[in-house]
Amino acid sequence: MQPINRALVSVFDKTGLVDFARQLVEDFHIELLSTGGTARKLEEAGIPYTKVSDYTGSPEMFDGRVKTLHPRIHGGLLMRRDNPKDVSDAEKFNVQPIDLVVCNLYPFNEVIAKAETSLEEAIEMIDIGGPTQIRAAAKSFPSVTVISDPSKYDIVLQEMHANKGAVSDKTRMELAQQVFATMALYDATIANYLGRTYSEKYNSMDPSVDETQFPELLVKLYQKVQKCRYGENWEQKGYYYRDTTATAGLQNLTQLHGKAISFNNWLDIDSCIQVLLDFDQDHSKHYVCSIFKHTTPNGLAVDYQSQLEATKRAFSCDPLSAFGGIWGFNQRLTKEVAEYVILEKKVFVEVLLAPSFDADALEILKTKDNLRVVQFDDLLKKREECYDLPEIRSVVGGVLVQDYDWLPIIKQWETKTERNVTDREKEALIFAYRACKWAKSNSAVFAREYDTGVYTLGIGAGQQSRVHVVKLAISKAEEFGHDLKDSVMGTDSFFPFPDGLVAAAEVGCKAILNPGGSMRDNLVIEKANELKISLAFCGKRVFRH
């Protein structure tokens, strides 16, 4: 390891810069090269340095766009110290080695996050000199140390004090890797911004063309957030990574109590949050309780007056499957709900989600060591930010990308039968169909309205046969004592035959909502009229595989 003798210092984020630079000079007698605002900062602090323009013999140009782009700078970074030809060239062209680069980039992402930022302003924040410096230094990591993050100052200083002014091979390599990861994110952010701007500008005249979320090259970078306890199964490793371009999402959750979140927990949390986002948009002043198991709802309720009542109704749908489930709430969790779940029903809950918690509710929840208590703050209010994110699902050797389906649940309401539906029945049908959207297709959901809300009675999900999913929902409802007389049913299934409708009518269902569009719709409508039940089409498919 060779000690550092010369450093190039040029940073946008000047956090910790003065103290770091002072130690480089006073403790290790390092020559500093600097320019622009960084040089002014050093000068104000009384730290000696050499101007880059004096070092290169070339003035700054084009309002500072060209400052460090010079052979004496990049030759000093890229020359191979152990290559005789490079050493000879360095002597010939008066190039001296630069052993340390301290540089961070213009905050492009922060600038474009401001709504008022113009394209011209964004372009000016595309850093050129900084990326060129740190990439060159990172390529030469066997002999050059590069710091692109102020949080690394102390680590480098500690090593230099321990190694007589040198930095270990391992640390130089790790710092170089960080540079290339930083550049990948930086370039991806610029590429996505320009792609989005291009799409919005040039496709605005044709609303049918929208490539904003689906560019020719989909560039994404993910940052590790947490190691999961294990993967989907015990033998698998699992990690949670966040989309570095996303401003809203699960990365903003705060775990207040309990074991580490597992891979499967994250999947269930994601599903539960999506349901709350969907149901809460029409019920922000109401109470939603969503109970999930294996990414599928097994109990949902909306109550207009009481969080406790919503909880009781959701739990009643399938109390057996609620064991080991994920429970989500759209409002601050109250003490009475915590008492009901933990003390009265004594349900084992894997994860309990809410935007916030009453202090006494949290104390009750913390009596369960293994219960993961997760707070998601104002995530539901950031709905629009979540809607802009693409949904990415992996397949062997690639990914499938689509936009999330946040459009209205009813595309076009059409009652197809002689028996119409009341306003309350329509509300319950829409609720059932929305619940159906979040179950695996094919799915069917029986629901009932009551004085202050609506809740699920039986949920059937993920069946290959359209009639069997109806029968599954019926059997689950009956198993837990629900009378389906005068209930309603939503199903994402097209009815190619009347058998599914007949199965629902036989247990007393009074109204059904489905997308419509089957070749045999007329046959099914005739059977509904014969059985004197309502059949409505919404014109929207909500399959979820």
Rounded to whole angstroms, the Cα distance separating 10 from 18 reads: 12
CA distance 392 to 401: 5
What the block records as the tokens of 329 is: 């709430």
User: Residue holding tokens 């360095």?
Assistant: 90
Q: What angle do CA 249, 253, 254 make, to 5 degrees?
A: 165
Q: Where are the beta strands (DSSP E) in 115-238?
A: 145-147, 222-227
For residue 208, with 0-12 CB atoms within 10 Å meaning exposed, 13-18 middle and 19 or more buried, which class applies?
Answer: exposed
Encoded tokens for 253? 């959750």
CA atoms within 13 A of residue 443's CA, in its CB half-sphere = 26
Please pick, among 14, 51, 259, 294, the residue that the annotation labels catalytic. Answer: 294
Token match 């397949």: residue?
Answer: 395
Q: Which amino acid is at 78?
A: L
SS3 440: coil
282 exposed, middle or buried (CB, 10 Å; 0-12, 13-18, 19+)?
middle
Does the active-site annotation cover 139? yes
The CA-atom distances, in angstroms, between 108 and each of 114, 193, 252 are 11, 10, 22
Name the phi and psi angles at 297, rounded to 5: -70, 135
Distance between CA 17 and CA 11 in Å, rounded? 8
DSSP run (H or E) holding 349: strand 349-354
Helix (H, G, I), strand (E, B) or coil at 508: coil
CA atoms of 13 and 104, how far apart (whole Å): 7
In DSSP notation, 245-314 reads T-SSSGGG-EEEESSPPPHHHHHHHHHHHHHHHHHHTS-TTSEEEEEEETTEEEEEEEESS-HHHHHHHH
CA 472, CA 466: separation in Å to the nearest integer? 10
Closest to 534 (Cα-Cα) out of 411, 425, 410, 409: 425
List residues bridging with 375 in a β-sheet.
254, 354
Contact in structure between 17 and 41 (CB atoms under 8 Å): yes
Pairwise CA distance, residues 82 & 88, whole Å: 11
Which amino acid, residue 445? V
Specify whether the CB–CB gap between 317 and 342 falls below 8 A: no
Q: Is 361 helix (H, G, I), strand (E, B) or coil?
A: helix
Tokens encoding 163: 């190694």
CB atoms within 10 A of CB 459: 28
Clarify whether 294 is annotated catalytic: yes
d(CA 258, CA 270): 18
Q: Which active-site residues does the annotation give? A: 139, 294
